[in-house]
Structure 1
Amino acid sequence: MIVVTGGAGFIGSNLIRALNLRGERNILLVDHLANGRKMHNIADLDIADYMDKEEFIEKIGAAHFFDGVRAVFHQGACSSTTEWDGRYVMMNNYDYSKRLLHWCIDRNVAYMYASSASVYGNGENGFRVDRSCEHPINMYAYSKFQFDQYVRPLLAKTRSPIVGFRYFNVYGPREQHKGMMSSTAFHFNRQVIEQKVAKLFEGCDGMANGEQKRDFVHVDDVVDVNLWFLDHPEQRGIYNVGTGRAETFNDVARAVIDWHKEGRIEYIPFPEHLKGAYQSYTQADISGLREAGYKKELLTVKQGVTKYLDWLNA
């Protein structure tokens, strides 16, 4: 059996879809469906069983708990970067992850988990998987950073297959339930359909309007990296998962407008509440991924947004 936590969420549901395409059906989907609209992400997926997150956490460590599990994709977390209840965030993103990690180590089960590029903060020291680059600036980022810190010494002490993925700006199918946390490609698409205008923030941090840059990575590429490490359990560690290219929000908006063959860009004031807590530039250093043996070229914004909108507007 394969366990996918956060399996009704954005990346988790895409992982299950990809596993289904491989013929995998013996999958336990773990999630918390307080937002029942996430069921649209999983209605077309084939799984063996569903379990609520709270029940799953209670059973971690129990004798013979799901004997036969061969891999855990731990995607479940509080993903809000604006959540400042530190106790809540640490309980969901740190304590839960630790318990599941030790359950996997004790049984030599592959453990692949979602970290985040947010651990790099404003990125002033770069985006390498290195302690000198890491300075989280919100509670979500700190919880991810601290779990990575917990994992690092364990990598030297155990040979269990453990892999952490620092996701950069992921976009693509099955993200609509995220609301305001959905990708800019999702929001620009809706804006162009409804208003013929893609609304971008004005410039900040010395950058021109819409010229803030992020490493935008399509969810299909993220899933492919996850499955590659499932197939290569000899590779262990913490890795950036991005394209290695920084592209602008203007690039994303233009790709959306090009797809629709209509629309224009409008710049809106930069929000006060985001000043000092916003990443104006991200670019993954994916040398570690390449050294591990992952060689596939990842989609550009133009390629990825076109692919996404083909699906989204079908």
Structure 2
Amino acid sequence: MYIVTGGAGFIGANLVHALNQRGISDILVSDHLQRADKFRNLADLDIRDYFEAEAFLPELLAGRLGKIDAIFHQGACSDTMASDGRYVMDNNYAHSKALFHWCQENRVPFLYASSASVYGMTGRFREERAAEDPLNIYAFSKFQFDQYLRAQWHALQAPVHGFRFFNVYGPREFHKGRMASVALHFSRQYRQEGRVRLFAGSAGYADGEQRRDFIHVDDVVAVHFHFLEHPNSGIYNVGTGRAQSFNDVALAVIQTIDAETGKAPRSLVELQQQGMITYMPMPEALHGKYQSYTQADIETLRAAGYTAPFLDVEAGVRRYQAWLRERE
């Protein structure tokens, strides 16, 4: 049996979907369903069992869940604005340690979500201590678990893979609200209002030209399954290795939606002039905390044997829009 924590969430549900595509339905999902409509992420999937997160760990530690093939650990409090540090550390740090030690004792592969947020505002995105400077309790919880594991590498009894996700977008993120990707926000804005809104320029970048490493969730899933099959333990950046602008995302969304109705493609300048792409001041709460540039250094990922190409924004947005057309 495979376990996916956070399995009703964005990346977790995509991992369950990928397991189903491989003919596997012997899957246990754990999650928090305070927001009940997250069930939609699982409604078209096949799993064997479900546990609320609080009930799951005691069952696992008591040995009542049977033989486990691997644990995909996506469960976490992912709110970067969370203020209850004890709650975040209990969910993201203590819970992860307990799962890690169980996997080591039982020789079970452990694949877990770290975060590119551990790099803070350093402007360096390489898996090394000198580049890490978390700015909030969420990032600190992820950073501290990575640090905890680094002290354990010499004594591992089973594979451990940590993945520092950059800006992930794609199917099954509807429930994330303000934390959803700009690809989804822009799509909804354009379909509902006929325009999209981006942040005005900041940190030396022109309007909408702040750049992030946007990665489609299908590529994130592919990385997981590569390391499930190639058990060389490590912590890896999971991004495309190429930063693209928010303007690129907006343009890709609009051009893809316009193509559905046969409209001729318009350039970024034309869309700006026509008021289809507009810019708003950055909220005061984000000043000094907003990453205007991220780009994963994927040298370690490539050196570990992951050689597949990544979708760029243009191809990834087209794939995402096709999925949205069928379901939203």
Q: Report the TM-score range of the alignment, normalised by the length of the smaller protein.
A: over 0.9
Number of residues of Structure 1 aligned to a counterpart in Structure 2: 311
Matches within 5 A, 1:89-238: 89-124=88-123, 126-233=124-231, 235-238=232-235
What's the CA shift for 1:57?
Answer: 2.3
Does the 8 Å contact 1:123/1:282 carry over to 2?
no
The counterpart of 2:247, out of the listed 230, 246, 250, is: 250
SS for the counterpart of 1:290 is helix
Write out per-residue CA displacement over residues 194-228 of structure 1, whole angstroms, 9 at most, x where no aligned residue: 11111000011111110110000000000010011
AA aligned to 2:192 is E
Aligned to 1:69: 68
Q: 1:249, 1:199 → 2: CA distance?
A: 10
SS for the counterpart of 1:47 is coil
Q: 1:159, 1:286 → 2: CA distance?
A: 26
SS for the counterpart of 1:24 is coil
Q: 1:25, 1:310 → 2: CA distance?
A: 26
Q: Percent same amino acid at aligned positions?
A: 56
Does the 8 Å contact 2:253/2:317 carry over to 1?
yes
AA aligned to 1:75 is Q
Does the 8 Å contact 2:197/2:278 carry over to 1?
yes
What's the CA shift for 1:285?
Answer: 0.5
Aligned to 1:5: 5
Question: Aligned Cα RMSD in Å?
Answer: 1.0
What's the CA shift for 1:193?
Answer: 0.6
After the TM superposition, which of the residue ranges 256-265 and 302-311 deviates more from structure 2?
A: 256-265
Q: 1:158, 1:5 → 2: CA distance?
A: 22
The counterpart of 2:287, out of the listed 258, 266, 275, is: 275
Q: Which runs of 5 or more residues in structure 2 are unaligned?
A: 264-270
Q: 1:171, 1:5 → 2: CA distance?
A: 19
Does the 8 Å contact 2:169/2:181 carry over to 1?
yes
What's the CA shift for 1:66?
Answer: 2.1
Does the 8 Å contact 2:118/2:143 carry over to 1?
yes
Does the 8 Å contact 1:114/1:166 carry over to 2?
yes
What's the CA shift for 1:84?
Answer: 1.9
AA aligned to 1:73 is F
AA aligned to 1:239 is Y
Does the 8 Å contact 1:123/1:281 carry over to 2?
no
Write out per-residue CA displacement over residues 87-123 of structure 1, whole angstroms, 9 at most, x where no aligned residue: 1110010000000110100001000000000000013
Aligned to 2:277: 265
AA aligned to 1:290 is R
Taking structure 1 as the reference length, the TM-score comes to: 0.97
AA aligned to 2:105 is D
What's the CA shift for 1:60?
Answer: 4.0
Aligned to 1:21: 21
Taking structure 2 as the reference length, the TM-score comes to: 0.93
Write out per-residue CA displacement over residues 203-261 of structure 1, whole angstroms, 9 at most, x where no aligned residue: 1111111011000000000001001111112x111000000000000000000011122
Does the 8 Å contact 1:122/1:280 carry over to 2?
no
Does the 8 Å contact 1:123/1:279 carry over to 2?
no
AA aligned to 1:32 is H
Matches within 5 A, 1:294-305: 294-305=306-317
SS for the counterpart of 1:313 is helix
Q: 2:204, 2:191 → 1: CA distance?
A: 31
Q: 1:231, 1:305 → 2: CA distance?
A: 28
Aligned to 1:79: 78
SS for the counterpart of 1:208 is coil
Q: 2:238, 2:43 → 1: CA distance?
A: 27
AA aligned to 1:76 is G
Q: Which runs of 5 or more residues in structure 1 are unaligned?
A: none
